[in-house]
């Protein structure tokens, strides 16, 4: 596929060609279509599946990990352990300069949207300026807005390719893949955290609750803001 072809045409062609293909095929074609791709990972509850798959397809895959400096200590330890186990040698840890806007680390108590924007969205946007696109772990089952999630998208406002190789996977598919490949589990999952973000804004989930119920509990918010549709922040579903 010509790299000088308009981005929308390239994405349409990729989605048509790979509509019924496996996630590994999507990743291989993604790296052919846009060699300079980064995988953005939270090293959360299900992240290891995509990280393993990407490392299998492209051992030197560039991984971007946002350390908000408010993460659980277990997440930081898990990130290092997973990177070592999978041989991920190109993990770039991103951190915001919070001194001017959140010097005492209390912004999340006043305005969670502003905190996420400072510590995640702006940091990632700056880092991605050096890439042709990025790979996410979003899946169709995660919300109604993602029910038609394609394998390839054009990111609104940037022209970057956004790749969703696990778009058609179910939660059971993820768990099966992790078990088959003996992948390490995030330690907080066993303690009632099926979705893991920053420590101040994540709580355990009771049996029968939605897996995302522990994220920003009690607020009209369940997305950090790094994913956009038509230039607007997506408020439903899960990140990686």
Active centre residues (catalytic) = 224
Rounded Cα–Cα distance for residues 140 and 236 (Å): 12
**130 by DSSP, 3-state: which?**
coil
Residues 135 and 162: their CA atoms lie apart, in Å, by: 6
How many CB atoms are located within 10 Å of the residue 65 CB? 22
Supply the Cα-derived Rg of the chain in whole angstroms: 17
Cβ neighbour number for residue 180 with a 10 Å cutoff = 8
Q: Strand runs (DSSP E) across 41-85, as ranges?
A: 62-66
Q: From CA 93, how far away is CA 189, in angstroms rounded? A: 23
Closest to 20 in 3D by CA, of 209, 147, 127, 167: 167
Sign of CA pseudo-dihedral 1, 49, 231, 91: negative
DSSP string, 150-195: -SEEEPTTT--EEE-TTTT--HHHHHHHHHHTTPPPPTTGGGT-SS
């Amino acid at each position: 596929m010509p790299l000088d072809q308009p981005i929308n045409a390239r994405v349409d062609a990729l989605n048509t060609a790979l509509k019924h293909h496996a996630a590994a095929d999507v990743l291989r074609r993604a790296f052919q279509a846009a060699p300079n791709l980064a995988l953005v990972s939270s090293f959360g509850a299900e992240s290891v599946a995509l990280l393993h798959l990407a490392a299998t397809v492209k051992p030197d895959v560039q991984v971007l990990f946002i350390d908000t400096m408010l993460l659980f200590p277990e997440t930081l330890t898990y990130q290092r352990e997973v990177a070592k186990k999978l041989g991920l040698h190109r993990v770039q840890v991103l951190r915001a300069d919070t001194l001017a806007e959140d010097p005492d680390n209390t912004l999340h108590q006043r305005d969670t949207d502003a905190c996420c924007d400072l510590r995640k969205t702006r940091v990632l946007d700056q880092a991605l300026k050096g890439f042709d696109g990025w790979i996410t772990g979003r899946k169709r089952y995660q919300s109604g807005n993602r029910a038609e999630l394609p394998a390839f998208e054009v990111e609104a406002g940037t022209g970057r390719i956004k790749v969703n190789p696990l778009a058609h996977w179910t939660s059971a598919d993820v768990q099966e893949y992790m078990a088959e490949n003996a992948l390490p589990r995030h330690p907080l999952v066993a303690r009632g955290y099926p979705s893991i973000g920053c420590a101040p804004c994540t709580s355990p989930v009771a049996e029968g609750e939605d897996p995302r119920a522990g994220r920003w509990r009690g607020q009209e918010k369940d997305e950090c803001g790094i994913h956009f549709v038509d230039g607007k922040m997506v408020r439903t579903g899960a990140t990686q």
